[in-house]
């Protein structure tokens, strides 16, 4: 059994207190840091509701991860099921899967959603959506179609789950590029298109990087927005919110005013105060330890290291915020190489 010892080191955040009231009219709302999944604001975040077209985020994720974005899709009878918002593609029209994802996300094309679903997964596409939801931790989500229409079974989720989905999606470079696009032009064998992004905050609020709108008579207005400032990457989700664009700006202003992404430890060599065991070893971590905190947080690091020094993995360093373990990294040790000393006779001999 390994013997370990513990060292606890406090961390101070110098972010000043800023009073910023948030009054959100949504039935459900969340503001989350996408890198750590820390929740900065919440209101009924696990309340299950119809989510309308923001469910297309999952359709886009499945399409992007299929590896088929550059393949040409020929549109068929699948678009007969589409109504409501669309990109108005026609049977026999040919365009790439990537083009369809642009139409899906910028114009909320239901016809694009059905075309994507048929090409990528056929009858198994909905199962692919639900399996992915389970895989990434969406605990209260059920997808029944690729677009969010309610007239059949509809898609049901929560503000929390949609924030988790968006945090995952934003780690995909292609997804980030698509949702951050304001205008997309396309020429096919049947038409020329100019698609403008429906998300009104893109270009209106300087820190917004993208998002997805949604509306049905059952779900009412749903909205997902992402924004970044000073290395703080946030997602806001509101369900049933008649003032959604205004509320998202309020949420982001609150988040950026009251939280700062602190670099607690940077990757590479680390020095541990009061360590009595590893004096002849270099200790290091492979990743930065960063977290969004404010000056009301109680923040500290706890090291768990093997009491008997050795090279390789020797323990972990864990970040605690308000007594809650939020992340940890492995600590590696490497013995310090010292220069070999020459004997005194050799030293004097070299002087002659």
Q: Which residues are catalytic?
A: 53, 56, 108
Contact 267, 73 (CB under 8 A): no
Q: How many CB atoms lie within 10 A of CB 113?
A: 33
Q: Which residues contact 173 (CB under 8 A, 6 or more apart)?
A: none
Q: Which residue has the tokens 């013995």?
A: 335
Q: Whose CA is closest to 160, among 143, 136, 139?
A: 139
Contact 53, 279 (CB under 8 A): no
Q: How many CB atoms lie within 10 A of CB 214?
A: 27
Q: Where are the alpha helices (DSSP H) in the chain?
A: 56-65, 97-107, 110-120, 125-135, 159-169, 173-179, 244-258, 344-349
| Residues, the chain | 352
Alpha-carbon span 324 to 193, nearest angstrom: 51
Contact 193, 37 (CB under 8 A): no
Alpha-carbon span 206 to 241, nearest angstrom: 22
What are the distances in angstroms from CA 231 to CA 35, 70, 262, 263, 310? 10, 32, 9, 10, 36
Alpha-carbon span 108 to 236, nearest angstrom: 19
Partners of residue 296 on adjacent β-strands: none
In three-state secondary structure terms, 28 is: strand
Q: Which residues contact 74 (CB under 8 A, 6 or more apart)?
A: 92, 93, 94
Q: Which residue has the tokens 């399409």?
A: 63
Q: Whose CA is closest to 66, among 119, 30, 28?
A: 119
């Amino acid at each position: 059994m390994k013997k370990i010892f513990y060292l606890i080191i406090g961390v101070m955040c110098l972010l000043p207190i800023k009073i910023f009231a948030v009054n959100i009219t949504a039935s459900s709302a969340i503001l989350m840091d996408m890198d750590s999944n820390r929740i900065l604001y919440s209101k009924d975040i696990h309340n299950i509701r119809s989510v309308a077209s923001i469910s297309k985020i999952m359709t886009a994720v499945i399409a992007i991860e299929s590896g088929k974005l550059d393949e040409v899709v020929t549109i068929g009878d699948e678009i007969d099921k589409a109504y409501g918002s669309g990109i108005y593609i026609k049977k026999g029209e040919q365009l790439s899967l990537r083009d369809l994802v642009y139409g899906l996300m910028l114009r909320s094309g239901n016809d694009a959603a059905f075309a994507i679903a048929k090409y990528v997964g056929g009858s198994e596409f909905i199962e692919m959506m639900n399996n992915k939801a389970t895989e990434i931790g969406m605990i209260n989500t059920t997808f029944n179609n690729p677009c969010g229409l309610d007239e059949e079974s509809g898609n049901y989720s929560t503000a929390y789950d949609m924030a988790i989905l968006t945090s995952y999606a934003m780690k995909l470079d292609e997804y980030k590029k698509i949702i951050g696009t304001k205008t997309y032009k396309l020429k096919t064998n049947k038409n020329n298109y100019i698609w403008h992004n429906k998300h009104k905050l893109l270009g209106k609020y300087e820190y917004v990087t993208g998002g997805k709108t949604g509306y049905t008579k059952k779900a009412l207005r749903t909205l997902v927005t992402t924004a970044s400032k000073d290395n703080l990457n946030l997602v806001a989700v509101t369900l049933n919110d008649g003032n959604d664009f205004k509320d998202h700006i309020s949420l982001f202003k609150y988040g950026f005013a009251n939280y700062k992404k602190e670099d607690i430890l940077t990757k590479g060599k680390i020095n541990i105060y009061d360590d009595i065991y590893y004096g002849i070893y270099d200790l290091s971590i492979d990743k930065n330890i960063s977290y969004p905190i404010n000056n009301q947080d109680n923040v500290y690091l706890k090291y768990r290291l093997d009491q008997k020094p050795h090279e390789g993995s020797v323990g972990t360093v864990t970040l605690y915020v308000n007594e809650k373990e939020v992340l940890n990294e492995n600590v590696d040790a490497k013995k310090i190489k010292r220069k070999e000393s020459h004997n005194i006779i050799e030293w004097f001999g070299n002087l002659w």
